[in-house]
Amino acid sequence: MWVTSSLTKALTPTAVALGNFDGVHLGHQRVIQPILTRRDSDRAEASLSDAKEHIYGTVVTFNPHPQEFFSGKRRTLLTPLKEKAQQLLNIGVEQLVLLPFDRELAALSPQEFVEKILVQLQAQQISVGQDFRFGWQRSGTASDLQAIAASFGIPVTIVPLQIGDDCSQKILRERISSSLIRQALEQGDLQRAKTLLGRPYTLTGSVVKGQQLGRTISFPTANIQLPSEKFLPKQGVYAVRVFMETEESDALLRHENLEVGANSPLAYVGVMNIGYRPTVNGTQPSVEVHLLDWSGDLYGQTLTVQLQKFLRPEQKFASLEALKEQIQADCALARSVLTLES
């Protein structure tokens, strides 16, 4: 997948899905699906005629998030850039265009946005959610986009809001949104977050050296350094599946001249703690994972931790021995939970 912040470097012509897409959840996937359908249809036609020009299935989003630009405050994300790109790649998107959100872009009228962005991308089709807003002070609606684009001969698909209705999982009939997913994660409700996302929530980062206190109680942990903007769920202990990237890599993501590997990971099970480690008087939040039935040096490795079940809140123990006993119990419970789910 090609990732670019420059309209002049974008691959054209395009079928465009417009939005922020933080989380790439089921609602977002529904907005993106029409451009993938268009691309697949064009490929089928191209097989009958070599003269048919390829149309690139493209997601156009904003960097930074508009709310971050206007508020001046850092916004945590369900899917930081590299993770978002990977999720889009997984569902078949061919190109990600990151529009630099600045005063110049924010000042564009809805008409100018279509002319200077979408026409330049040679958009053959556009897909947006029903609540999409664009242009100066969010003055343009999805219907406005449809009308303006029609004057350039570009059809616009307006996708109805995705509704969650899985009563067995107690998901309310309401719009799927990044805010709802954050709320579920803050409550430790991983099943609800998974239902809304369409996949388990994950944390991806590199292993760095910590205080190595886990080694002293026979439970060595990998201290994971996440992107600073990554949204963290409720503090506490989780049963997790851990995916370790291998050195065998196909360069499937390309960021202008930078290649980012997409790997075939090795999977393990484990226990993860998110919090301040009060038993050892920790002062900084950390994300640490202990892999079951595994030993070795993980420093420098990239791990993706898939959250499966919230086990308990973080707590302070009277001694390291008491902490060790609890970790043993956590590991036994995690093994049981993950065995049942496999």
Distance, CA of 211 to CA of 87 (rounded, Å): 33
Distance, CA of 309 to CA of 140 (rounded, Å): 41
Please indicate, yes or no, whether residues 78 and 114 belong to a single structural domain of this protein. Answer: yes
With beta carbons less than 8 A apart as the criterion, state whether 110 and 134 touch: yes
Please indicate, yes or no, whether residues 14 and 145 belong to a single structural domain of this protein. Answer: yes
Q: Which of 171, 199, 227 is the last residue of a domain?
A: 199
Please indicate, yes or no, whether residues 49 and 113 belong to a single structural domain of this protein. Answer: yes
With beta carbons less than 8 A apart as the criterion, state whether 202 and 307 touch: yes
Q: Give the residue from 2, 30, 31, 6 showing the smallest Cα distance to 17.
A: 31
Give the pLDDT of residue 83. 94
Give the pLDDT of residue 260. 44
* Total count of domains within the chain: 3
Please indicate, yes or no, whether residues 125 and 238 belong to a single structural domain of this protein. Answer: no
What does R_g of the chain's alpha carbons equal in angstroms?
A: 22
From first to last of its 342 residues, the chain has per-residue pLDDT tens of 999 999 999 999 999 999 999 999 999 999 999 999 766 666 666 555 555 689 999 999 999 988 898 888 889 999 999 999 999 999 999 999 999 999 999 999 999 999 999 999 999 999 999 999 999 999 999 999 999 999 999 999 999 876 655 544 444 456 789 999 999 999 999 999 999 999 999 999 999 986 656 555 567 889 999 999 999 999 999 999 999 875 443 445 555 544 444 445 678 999 999 998 766 666 678 899 999 988 788 888 999 999 999 999 998 888 888 888 999 999 999 999 998 776
Please indicate, yes or no, whether residues 125 and 12 belong to a single structural domain of this protein. Answer: yes
Please indicate, yes or no, whether residues 128 and 240 belong to a single structural domain of this protein. Answer: no
Please indicate, yes or no, whether residues 173 and 195 belong to a single structural domain of this protein. Answer: yes
Give the pLDDT of residue 51. 56
| Max CA distance (Å), the chain | 74
- This prediction's pTM: 0.85
Give the pLDDT of residue 261. 47
Give the pLDDT of residue 169. 46
Please indicate, yes or no, whether residues 123 and 241 belong to a single structural domain of this protein. Answer: no
- Report which secondary-structure segment, H or E, holds 50: none
Give the pLDDT of residue 11. 97
Please indicate, yes or no, whether residues 9 and 149 belong to a single structural domain of this protein. Answer: yes
Domain residues for 168?
163-199
Please indicate, yes or no, whether residues 122 and 212 belong to a single structural domain of this protein. Answer: no
DSSP state of 216: G
Whichever domain contains 225, its CATH number is: 2.40.30.30
Please indicate, yes or no, whether residues 334 and 237 belong to a single structural domain of this protein. Answer: yes
Q: Which of 130, 159, 188 is the last residue of a domain?
A: 159
With beta carbons less than 8 A apart as the criterion, state whether 123 and 68 touch: no
Please indicate, yes or no, whether residues 180 and 118 belong to a single structural domain of this protein. Answer: no
Whichever domain contains 28, its CATH number is: 3.40.50.620
Q: Which of 94, 127, 159 is the last residue of a domain?
A: 159
